[in-house]
Structure 1
Amino acid sequence: MSTTSTAHTRNPNAREVVVTGIGLALPGVATYGDLLGPLPGVGGFDLATGLSGREMRHKDRASRLALRAAESALHDAGLTDAHATFTGAADSTAVVVSTNLGNADSVCEAIDTITRAGVRGLSPLGLPQTSSNVIAGWVAIRYRLRGPNLTVCNGVTSGLDALAWARSLIVARRAEAAVVVGVEPANDVVTKMLGEQSTDAAVAVVLEPADAAASRGARPRATITGYARARNLAAALASAGVTEEKSVGLWLVDEAGAGPGHLLVATRRIDLEAQLGPLSGALGVLQCAAAAAHLESDATGNVLATAGGPRHDAASALLLTP
């Protein structure tokens, strides 16, 4: 999807795709309901214990965070047994990861090693971490998922775009389910690239066709109804089917990127980055988790998630409904 085009998912004859599982690996946030605020700031994912263990060996930090989030999401969706073994259709379950800086530290480390000791200094155990698709690969290997496997790393819109790609795979029947992960690690390399302290954040959601979820008794949390990516936020909103005349119950917005103008009426607005710090590729998937929390609560109205704006080369909009 180019930054100058729009893409939307509002075909009324398409398969309805719902969120059936959510998992977080986010310090200070215990459940996805906490994302609606105020954030507790304590508890949640324990980095000291959660990223250690035999199964975490020889993996980069972002992959370890992603594996923990995926584990929780698949359990929440009822797709793992008591031994954390995947019980769904492994051959047709996709993995779509959104990360912009996930393995940047591994790439920099490899470059430093080559500079210092040449290619012979590289470790065969560490070299796979320099692949941009390493996180999606580890999730697929852990649960033996053999469906489509890809990583989206195209800036601030990456998380929402990853959700849209996963939905498209299901609508096109290339996959019968998808694990979508948004993850960014906190390390010195990422902090230098961002120019500010980075945030350890991983979130995973499970997407399935609504009829498949109903047939196995899964509880849908939200339905992905509309999506668009365009060169500016106003165009993305229009293409996604959101207008100034149609209010939404919750607008999950990147305030810094969206600009000062109010493009539509929203009962409530939440800027997750203002509360959690830089989220980059994890932002859009985390917005999806917050949207599900809103739609499960007593609050009314649909949820709009947006990312990007005047400071960026593109903007995305995702509309979620009960």
Structure 2
Amino acid sequence: MTTTQTDRTAQTDASRPGTSVVVTGAAVLLPGADTVRALADGPAAGGAPVEPAAHVGKKGLRYKDRATQLGYALTAAALRDAGLLGADEKDGLSVPATSVGVVASSNFGNLDTVARALDTLREETVTGTSPMDLPNASSNVIASSAAIRYGLRGPNLMVCNGETSGLDAVHWAATMISAGRTERVLVLGVEPDNEVVRKLLDGEHAVDGGAALVVESRTAAAERSATVRAVLGPYSRGAGEVDLRGRRWQAPAHLGKASGASGLLQIAAAVGWFDAGERGPVQAVTGTAADDASADLLLLAPEAA
């Protein structure tokens, strides 16, 4: 479908007969904010960089890029928040592994690994490349690594299509659930901050962290007596500006470029507001008229039908 300034492709809960998709888990890891409430209140400036090893231990981090390490920590935190993973990773999931999919969003994720491999190829030969680096040069490494480490054997997808990437990832997760492909999805949005990313951004820094959600069909959530934290409302994507329909959370400038993590951070902030008792709709918006596209998603309070 071709979009114009007045024509937006929309997928809403009304277009998913019998299926309501809800948020049952949320996690945030940023300098200055490590809870959804802290995010909703506004991350403090000057926070210390996130240390993935402090959240998931050092095992398995050595040969992984920064984005994948952050992804591990966010995945564990969101799964635990949703009641799907115990304090010890060795205990495994509390639901069948095939019932949990993964959709990850990142536009800068493994650029440092790709750049390093290309530099080696240009300056030396293919034999000079590291056998530990090359597997990490695949664009889906964040999604696949999270699935492998935590045994998430449902559908697996990596989204890296610019400013709308984070909300698009949530939409694809909801689509998978509505289509009956899986009961729940871990949705991850993460961006690292490093020299390669800053060069791409003309000196601007990235958030060096992100957010993760667990979204489920309302039926699946009810079957395991999970607490609903928010309800996914109407989503749209297209050209032009977005009509404002609810309260918005916007990242403070000191956090840096959120890019593929932006949509997930906005939804996590909405969960923080709902957890604190607010009940008005919250609208997540990514992209502007100056970008290839813009997207928006309305988040509704847990009691919404």
Tell me the residue number matched to 1:232.
240
Contact 2:189 2:261 in 1 (8 A): yes
Which residue, 202, 207, 212 being the options, matches 2:215?
207
Structure 1 residue identity aligned to 2:199: K
Tell me the residue number matched to 1:26.
30
Distance 1:46 1:155 in 2: 24
Alignment of 1:1-322 (within 5 A): 6-11=9-14, 13-41=17-45, 46-47=50-51, 49-50=53-54, 53-84=58-89, 85-195=92-202, 196-234=204-242, 237=243, 248=246, 250-252=247-249, 271-322=250-301
Per mean C-alpha deviation after superposition, the further-off stretch among 58-67 and 293-302 is: 293-302
Distance 2:26 2:53 in 1: 21
Q: Tell me how far 1:181 sits from its aligned partner.
A: 0.3
Q: Tell me how far 1:90 sits from its aligned partner.
A: 0.9
The alignment of Structure 1 onto Structure 2 pairs a total of residues equal to: 293
Taking a change above 3 Å as real, the CA distance of residues 170 and 194 of structure 1, as seen in their structure-2 partners, is same
Q: Tell me how far 1:166 sits from its aligned partner.
A: 0.3
Contact 1:24 1:204 in 2 (8 A): yes
Taking a change above 3 Å as real, the CA distance of residues 283 and 316 of structure 1, as seen in their structure-2 partners, is same
TM-score, length basis structure 1:
0.85
Q: Tell me how far 1:233 sits from its aligned partner.
A: 2.3
Identity of aligned residues (%): 43
Per mean C-alpha deviation after superposition, the further-off stretch among 43-52 and 284-293 is: 43-52
Structure 2 residue identity aligned to 1:204: A
Distance 1:188 1:46 in 2: 17
Deviation per CA, 1:82-124: give whole Å up to 9, x if none.
Answer: 4222222211311000000101111100000101211011111
Structure 2 residue identity aligned to 1:222: A
Taking a change above 3 Å as real, the CA distance of residues 142 and 165 of structure 1, as seen in their structure-2 partners, is same
Tell me the residue number matched to 1:267.
none
Taking a change above 3 Å as real, the CA distance of residues 182 and 115 of structure 1, as seen in their structure-2 partners, is same
TM-score, length basis structure 2:
0.90
Question: Which stretches in structure 2 are left out of the alignment for 5+ residues?
Answer: none
Taking a change above 3 Å as real, the CA distance of residues 55 and 300 of structure 1, as seen in their structure-2 partners, is same
Contact 1:79 1:86 in 2 (8 A): yes
Per mean C-alpha deviation after superposition, the further-off stretch among 26-35 and 102-111 is: 26-35
Question: Which stretches in structure 1 are left out of the alignment for 5+ residues?
Answer: 253-270
Deviation per CA, 1:160-205: give whole Å up to 9, x if none.
Answer: 1100000100010111110000000010000111121222012110
Instruction: Please give the root-mean-square deviation of Cα atoms over the aligned residues, in Å.
Output: 2.0
Deviation per CA, 1:15-45: give whole Å up to 9, x if none.
Answer: 1111111122212103111122243346677
Distance 1:89 1:2 in 2: 39
Deviation per CA, 1:251-306: give whole Å up to 9, x if none.
Answer: 23xxxxxxxxxxxxxxxxxx215352211101001111011111222323111111
